Amino acid sequence: MSDDKPQIDKAVEETVPTSKKNEAVKLSRRRVLQGASGSIALATLAACDSGSVAQGPAPTTPTTAGISAEPAPRGPDLTGRLARYMVDVRDTPLPPNVVLAAKHRILDSIGAVVSGAQLLPGEVAIDYIRGQGGTEEAYVATTDIMTSATNAAFANGMFGHADETDDFHPFTKAHPGCVVIPAALAMGQKEGSSGTEFLRAVVLGYDLCCRFLVALQPALIRARGRAAEGYSSTFGATATAASLARFNETEMRYAISYAVQQVSGVWSWVRDVEHIEKAFDFSGMGARNGVAAATMIQSGFTGVLDALEGQRNIIDAQSVEPSPEEMVADLGSRFYIEETAIKTFPTGYPTQSPLAAFFTLREQYGITADNLEHLLIRLPEDGARIVDNRSMPDINAQHLMAVAVVDGYIDFENSHSFERMSDPEVLAVKERIEYIADPELAVVEAPRSGFVQITLTDGQQADLFVSHAPGTPENPLDTEAVNEKVRTLVAPILGDDRTETLIDRINNIEDIDNIQELRPLISNTA
């Protein structure tokens, strides 16, 4: 991988002193980068070695709109090799760094689930599941509902991506946590799994969630109008549920086959204005699919044994230039759970770097709505399209930046408020924002970077390029920063005592004998 930085402008990263670039970025109670109240968690904006974390093969442009005529090269029995690993890994100790990364993602994702239960996607999911009944196997977070594992996975999955606080994999653009954790909570309760079994199943789920997209090549999937998130989420949830079901190799092959049959999704979710279908596509659907697959196999369903390499297999059917061996490349030594980015803002991921850049500049130059003359945002072209003047406030880059200028912070409330989209003061600042989708920034080494330039009324001008936002693998949050983020999301809902106990239990998850012990901490069931 190249260590070259994206070429933007010779002035980029020069106008702000190095000491300022490395200043702390703050997190406080449900308020990110405000720098005012609560306990402070630190995350630096220091430049990092772009080659320090493997990001997978670079995306390429498809050469044809059709399906590949010849099967892509792969070794023998790809499905079997993957299935055998899925069996073996649940009893194999993980490296300490992987365990720590998993604890961070589990806690972060539970925070997203609890917080999302209070939003519209969560509310409609709760109403829906209340009418479904079902054998009492697992809880629905923040409620008194006990239902089937499949129903619980669906509802908690809807919660997990309801509010844009869940983690994100920069290369594949997958959102593993919001789907893998709900599947693990549901299946883990059904099976009475230990904390260690739960953690290892989550790590496996992250792996398959991301590896499946790498094998298909995510840019090729999206270039054909498909929503890769729906593909990855089903594979991740199925792997997690199958691990907790303690399947043998044959049953793992069946699970892979049922994941294959359920992957789906197209980019039409970008027209969703209430985040409900988006929550379904990114997580509710996949969590439901994965747990349904596992429980069907437990009930005696059988399937195809070679879904990844047999005739008319998923990989050749869905990608014009697939890389099938990526499904098993470096299994057991490369863990994708270490490569996802934990958000520091409750907003769409392409906005993380520009917001981090703006708040660093704001701290140095005292930027306000009164002294700002012009603000330029430059984002990688693909990410820029996702957050360009969207109808949902939390994924509208220009709106979020205007709110950041007016309020001086971004928190859960101001980033999710539809009312603020018609606020005259916000609209006035938004008129001063220039927005550029820059193809030169679309590089594998920093796929979600951001460049911000400010011009003040007194003539001062400064800019900052952030290659990796706080929370990325290159610029990670420590345990206390993750804890603090979760406090801001969860404490207003669960209360301080339950929140602190939950944080402690997840940070020591290997001491949990039965994951059902989390039930009274996350739900309103005994």
Give the mean model confidence (pLDDT) for residues 398-407.
98
Q: Output the pLDDT for position 525.
A: 79
The architecture CATH gives domain 18-49+344-466: 2-Layer Sandwich (3.30)
Q: In 387-461, which residue ranges form alpha helices assigned H by DSSP?
A: 397-407, 412-416, 424-430
Using the predicted structure, report yes or no on whether residue 145 has a pLDDT greater than 70.
yes
Q: Which homologous superfamily does the CATH classification assign to the domain defined by 79-327+495-522?
A: 2-methylcitrate dehydratase PrpD (1.10.4100.10)
Alpha-carbon distances, residue 483 vs 29, 168, 330, 492 (angstroms): 11, 18, 31, 14
What is the 8-class DSSP label of residue 347? S
Report residue 488's pLDDT band, with 50, 70 and 90 as the boundaries.
Answer: very high
Q: Output the pLDDT for position 521.
A: 97
Task: Give the torsion sign (CA, 75, 76, 78, 82).
Answer: negative
Report residue 70's pLDDT band, with 50, 70 and 90 as the boundaries.
Answer: low
- pLDDT tens for each residue of 175-222: 999 999 999 999 999 999 999 999 999 999 999 999 999 999 998 888
- Residue 46 has phi, psi (to 5 degrees) of -65, 145
Q: What kind and span of H or E run contains 26?
A: strand 25-28
Residue 454: strand pairing partners: 375, 462
Nearest CA to 467 out of 45, 26, 44, 14 is that of: 45
Cβ neighbours around 33 below 10 Å, total = 25
User: Higher confidence at residue 11 or residue 385?
Assistant: 385
The rounded distance, in Å, linking the Cα atoms of 480 and 476 is 12
pLDDT, averaged across the chain:
87
Give the mean model confidence (pLDDT) for residues 254-270.
93
Contact 273, 391 (CB under 8 A): yes
Using the predicted structure, report yes or no on whether residue 28 has a pLDDT greater than 70.
no
Contact 229, 272 (CB under 8 A): no
In the structure encoding, which two tokens stand for residue 320, read together? 């014009």
Burial bucket for residue 236 (CB in 10 Å: 0-12, 13-18, 19+): buried
Give the mean model confidence (pLDDT) for residues 258-263.
97
Burial bucket for residue 440 (CB in 10 Å: 0-12, 13-18, 19+): exposed
Positions of CATH 3.30.1330.120 in the chain: 18-49+344-466
The rounded distance, in Å, linking the Cα atoms of 394 and 388 is 11
Name all contacts of 360-363 with Cβ < 8 Å and 24+ positions apart: 360/16, 360/20, 360/21, 360/23, 360/25, 360/45, 360/464, 360/466, 361/16, 361/452, 361/454, 361/462, 361/463, 361/464, 362/404, 362/408, 363/20, 363/23, 363/35
In the structure encoding, which two tokens stand for residue 295, read together? 């429980």
Q: What percent of the chain has pLDDT over 90?
A: 77
The rounded distance, in Å, linking the Cα atoms of 346 and 25 is 15
In the structure encoding, which two tokens stand for residue 197, read together? 């079994």
Give the mean model confidence (pLDDT) for residues 75-96.
97
Give the mean model confidence (pLDDT) for residues 94-112.
98
Positions of CATH 1.10.4100.10 in the chain: 79-327+495-522
- pLDDT tens for each residue of 438-451: 999 988 888 899 99
Using the predicted structure, report yes or no on whether residue 2 has a pLDDT greater than 70.
no
Q: Output the pLDDT for position 219.
A: 87
